[in-house]
Structure 1
């Protein structure tokens, strides 16, 4: 039997088929990260986040406007580079044995969505040791809040965490303009290929290569929109976290209007979360005051 030699049109057709399967794979996994994070586009190697020390607030207009110089604090998040590669054996091309590569391409596309979920939820879980804009850990006991709106005066320490030794659970406010966490994207997931028989890869290794590429990272937003706990997920601990977030103030004593709306748990806290939020009655038959109090995001990525 003569050796099969693919012409450029056939290579293009193979690429089109694999790219279609890649795109199908992109839609397979749910983009759960969108439930807790907002997208920020990046146009350089890194983004610098210069956050105001408090949320903007209105006051009664008496006399002239008050032009306050609000303190800014910043931190920088570098874009990381991620890839996944599928090698198509040249012998499979010669033998017209290409069917299973479609499944691999689809899995690679699915992995691009999985990556975003992984980045966001792993960043939340790591917030007890990850630094945010004020120089403190994202979940910490001593975030500085100042008595004056311009960030001056003697700061008091505010906590957005509960200590413990268990699996983390996170309470979030996602309905304000500032977000608790962001997906920083420099380059959207893209599909590339290396199919020229004259390339060094084909010559040296006898393979054609297809793969995906993405650049970006997760970036912490306002700690005031999040509360992290490693304590047991009990009604008492949940209610303490909920009330603490509602009482958060910005510099100058301004109420921030924070109302938690989302509880994020991993597999270890799923049963406790469902008992807390989805049971209309407690074990003793009394009404469960936390029933559907917030939405539940249960993720395998945390």
Structure 2
């Protein structure tokens, strides 16, 4: 039996096909994370978010402008590096048995979006024990708010959480320009090809063709005022309490922020309760359900503990 000789042209054509399939995987996979926040670019090893200390709002102009300096306390998020690698044995090419790797590499592209979804949704339950820009946990009972718009005066504290021991659920306000979460991206996903010829080092030494996906970035906590987290039972009373609390949030200087929650994010354990709360037109007593479609419901497997 004659052994198939791989030409440079055949390898190049196959590599082009794999890149196309990888990019297809990126394109066809639902980016669920976009329901939590927005993409923010990173131009270095990390981003520092001093500007998060300034929730945007207008004030009456009396006298000189009020120049609000960003808080000196730094909230810095370093970019993490992620990879996935596929090795194809040379024998697969020799035996004309490499067609199935197109499906495999497309799934590698899909796994990049899976990673982004996982990072963002995992940040939600982690927010009960992760620091945000004001030095408090993202979901906490004592976020500092000051009586004067310049951030001076005796500080008061505001809570954006309900205590409990159950799977977390979260109310968000995502319709404004500021966001509760961001996905920080330093390097967009790409497929890197190690071997472009049958006599390259990787093929010669290991008899394999290597293909690797790569991405750099991380999830970022944005404005805590746009999120309310709970580990309590998801029922009408707790939902209403969280909803009402967010609508009453004020900024420095006792400014009303005008926040109206628009999204409820739950995991598998709270799915049934969330559907009863938001999708049933009548409650258990047969009366009209005042919470019917009150906010958008996002049920995500990435929220599971």
TM-score (norm 1): 0.96
User: How far is the alpha carbon of 1:69 from its aligned partner?
Assistant: 2.9
Map of 2:227 onto structure 1:
226
Q: Structure 1 residues 69, 20: CA separation in 2 closer, same or farther (over 3 Å shift)?
A: closer
Instruction: Report the Cα distance in structure 2 between the residues aligned to 1:248 and 1:51, rounded to whole angstroms.
Output: 19
Bigger mean CA offset, 27-36 vs 216-225: 27-36
Partner of 1:214: 215
- Decide whether the 8 Å contact of 2:186 with 2:217 is kept in 1: yes
Do the aligned partners of residues 243 and 135 (structure 1) sit closer, same or farther apart at CA in structure 2, a change above 3 Å counting? same
* Corresponding residue of 2:193: 193
Deviations 1:123-163 (A, max 9, x none): 11210011100011000111111111111111111110011
Tell me by how many angstroms 1:109 deviates.
Answer: 0.8
The answer to whether 1:93 aligns with 2:81 is no
Per-residue deviation at 1:39? 0.6
Contact preservation (8 Å) 1:182, 1:221: yes
Deviations 1:28-78 (A, max 9, x none): 32111111111101111100111253423223345x343233452430000
Equivalenced residues, count: 301
**Alignment correspondent of 1:39:** 39
1:269 is aligned to 270
1:53–1:151: 8 Å Cα contact kept in structure 2?
A: no
Contact 2:53/2:133 (8 A) holds in 1? no
Alignment of 1:164-183 (within 5 A): 164-183=164-183
CA contact (8 A) 2:263 2:296 kept: yes
* Matched residue SS, 1:269: helix
Are 1:53 and 1:251, in contact at CA under 8 Å, matched by a contact in 2?
no
Alpha-carbon separation, structure 2, partners of 1:177 and 1:25: 29
Q: Deviations over 1:79-102 (max 9, x none)?
A: 111111111101111111102111
Runs of 4+ in structure 1 deviating by more than 6 angstroms, as ranges, are none
Q: Report how far residue 199 of structure 1 moved.
A: 3.6
Q: Is the 8 A contact 1:51 1:74 kept in 2?
A: no
Q: Is the Cα contact below 8 Å between 2:50 and 2:70 reproduced in 1? A: no
**2:83–2:214 contact (8 Å) kept in structure 1:** yes
Structure 2 unaligned blocks of 5 or more: none
CA deviations on 1:152-177 (whole Å, 9 max, x unpaired) are: 11111111001100001010000111
Does the Cα contact within 8 Å between 2:66 and 2:150 map onto a contact in 1? no
Aligned match of 1:144: 144
Residues 191, 52 of structure 1: alpha-carbon distance in 2 compared, 3 angstrom cutoff: closer
Distance 2:54 2:25 in 1: 41
Q: Does 1:258 align with 2:225?
A: no
| 8 A contact 1:184–1:217 mirrored in 2 | yes
CA distance in 2, matches of 1:136, 1:279: 37
Residue 112 of structure 2 is matched in structure 1 by: 112
Rounded to whole Å, the distance in 2 between the matches of 1:67 and 1:131 is 28
C-alpha separation in 2, matches of 1:285 and 1:197: 72
Normalised by the length of structure 2, the TM-score is: 0.95
CA contact (8 A) 1:54 1:250 kept: no
Secondary structure at the counterpart of residue 203 of structure 2: helix
CA deviation string 1:181-230 (max 9, x = no partner): 00001111101111233443222221001121111000000000000111
Q: What SS is found at the alignment partner of 2:50? A: strand
CA distance in 2 between partners of 1:105 and 1:52 (Å): 39
Tell me the distance in 2 between the aligned counterparts of 1:215 and 1:60. 43
CA distance in 2, matches of 1:152, 1:293: 37
- Deviation for aligned residue 1:278: 0.5
CA drift of 1:17 comes to 1.3
